[in-house]
Structure formats: structure tokens, C-alpha cells
Amino acid sequence: MGAPDVQGPEYVSIWKVILVGLDTASKTVGPYRGCGSIPPPSAIMSINNYMTTYRIIEDCSPYYIRYTFDGIENLTNLCKTYILPKKGEFGFRHLRLERPLVDNVLDLVPASKQMPLQKDRVSLFMTEPGFYYSAHKDGMDHRFSLNFTVTVLDDKCVTSWYSDEDLKTYKISTDIIPSANNLYVPGASREVLEWDKSKHTPLKSMVAKPNEAILFNTELFHDWDNRTSTNRRVVLTLRHQNPGAVYFEDARKILFGY
Ligand SMILES: [Fe+2]
């Protein structure tokens, strides 16, 4: 794909640390919290003889959970070396990384020790200033994604979620017969057709911050809006190997123990 062939031997594994009790996570993280709550500062996660520390920044289930972990800067700095310049007029570019870059990236993702992640869908989403991606659900049945903010230079890019009920009158791209004129790749996602954002109020909106991880509910309609920004935004996004079977709440349980 033309990405620089950057190897990562200089990155020391952050997983070679002590083993702690397997049940520590659920004790520390505690029960479900309401949207926007800020839990205690850390949850020690023990994963297959490795340890990392997740710190939940904001649990806004069922829309998203913002969190961070030790070593996230190693991950985002590595991804920065893979970023490509803008290509063409379209303001959004989806770059799927190839091996060995994929392995370098996943080595630095704690979740890859907790759940199987797709190696052919380790992607950088590069959103240019002024770009708006309209309401959709990911894939045909992708329930959640793991996102990591690689480049966020301002607070202008807003992600919003909407209810099925609110959008029930729209046709979805999966409802139409594919043709050469389709704006979206047939079967690739569930796009809201003839979407009019001005007529809807989001259930929830979020502005991602630098060097954060986001458990993202892609099974709810959502859009993102970088139209008021003068900066490019880059996000690393990962998928479960069985994306139709594992929902947001399942992923939360796997990651955080609740
Ligand atoms: Fe999406």
C-alpha cells in the first residue's frame, strides 16, 4: 500500500511485566456506570501472563468508552510513521496496513492479548479538514470497533450517535440494488441514504482527544464531522475476527471485566 516499511525492534515490549491476580480487574473496575461517569483511576488487567493498566476516562455506554493504558504513546507514535498524505479530492482515506506493519501495531495493543483481532483490517482512518462522513453503521454486521487516536490536533471533530427510531424513515444502502453509480461499496456498510443531519438531534456526541483508546459502538447509527476543523485527524481502528458475534457490551466485559 506504499506505507513506509518501518520495523519496530526499538520498541521494547510493554507486556513483559509481572503477573497479577486474574480477578483484580472486576474488583477494581466495579459495576456498570452511567454515561459520562469517571471511575477510579486504574484497573489492573492481567492477560495471559502479561499485565497492563487500563484507565477508563469516560464510560458512556452504550455509545463509547474512552480509556487509556500504559504504552499507548508507543502505539500512536508507531502509527504516525505509517500515515500517508492526502490522495485525490475525497476528504477521507482508509489505509489498511499490511504485514509486517500489522504485527508491529498489534504487538502494542493490549486488547490483542484479550480477543482475536482481524489482521487484514488494521486500518488508519485519515480525515481531512472540512470532511463530513454521514450517518451509518459499520459493515454489514460489525458491532464494535477499537479506535486509537493517532493524530488529533484540535477539538473540532465531533462524532455523534443517533437512534434507530429517529432514522427509521431513511433507506439504508443495503436496501437498494447495487449499481455502478452507488456512492458506497455495496455490502461494505450500512449507509443512511439522503441523510439530513440538520433534522436530527444526536443521542450522544463525543470529541476524541489525543492518545486515547475508544471502545466504539458501531452497531448504532453514527457520523463524524470535521467540517469546522483546519486539521487532519488520524485514527487507528481495529476489528474483532468475528465482528458479527461480539457486541459492545461483550467487548466491554472482555476488556474491562464488567
Ligand atoms: Fe463508522
Rounded average pLDDT over 193-219: 97
For residue 173, what pLDDT is reported? 86
For residue 37, what pLDDT is reported? 53
Mean pLDDT is lowest, of 14-18, 108-112, 124-128, 208-212, for 14-18
Between these two residues, 258 and 200, which has the higher pLDDT value?
Answer: 200
Encode pLDDT of 55-73 as tens digits.
Answer: 999 999 999 999 999 899 9
- Cα distances (Å, whole numbers) of residue 177 to 182, 189, 191, 196, 216: 9, 14, 13, 22, 29
Q: Residue 134's domain spans which residues?
A: 3-256
223 CA to centre of ligand 1 in angstroms? 7
pTM of the model: 0.81
191 CA to centre of ligand 1 in angstroms? 9
103 CA to centre of ligand 1 in angstroms? 24
Mean pLDDT is lowest, of 82-96, 119-133, 226-240, for 82-96
Percent of the chain with pLDDT over 70: 76
Contact partners, residue 77, CB within 8 Å, separation at least 6 = none
Encode pLDDT of 166-179 as tens digits.
Answer: 999 999 988 777 66
85 CA to centre of ligand 1 in angstroms? 21
Between these two residues, 38 and 21, which has the higher pLDDT value?
Answer: 38
25 CA to centre of ligand 1 in angstroms? 29
156 CA to centre of ligand 1 in angstroms? 18
Q: Would you tell me how many other CB atoms lie within 10 Å of the CB of residue 229?
A: 20
Number of domains forming the structure of the chain:
1
222 CA to centre of ligand 1 in angstroms? 6
Q: What is the CATH number of the domain that holds 150?
A: 2.60.120.10
For residue 175, what pLDDT is reported? 78
Encode pLDDT of 93-142 as tens digits.
Answer: 999 999 999 999 999 999 999 999 999 999 999 999 999 999 999 999 99
User: Is a pLDDT exceeding 70 seen at residue 163?
Assistant: yes
258 CA to centre of ligand 1 in angstroms? 24
User: Is a pLDDT exceeding 80 seen at residue 23?
Assistant: no
133 CA to centre of ligand 1 in angstroms? 9
48 CA to centre of ligand 1 in angstroms? 30
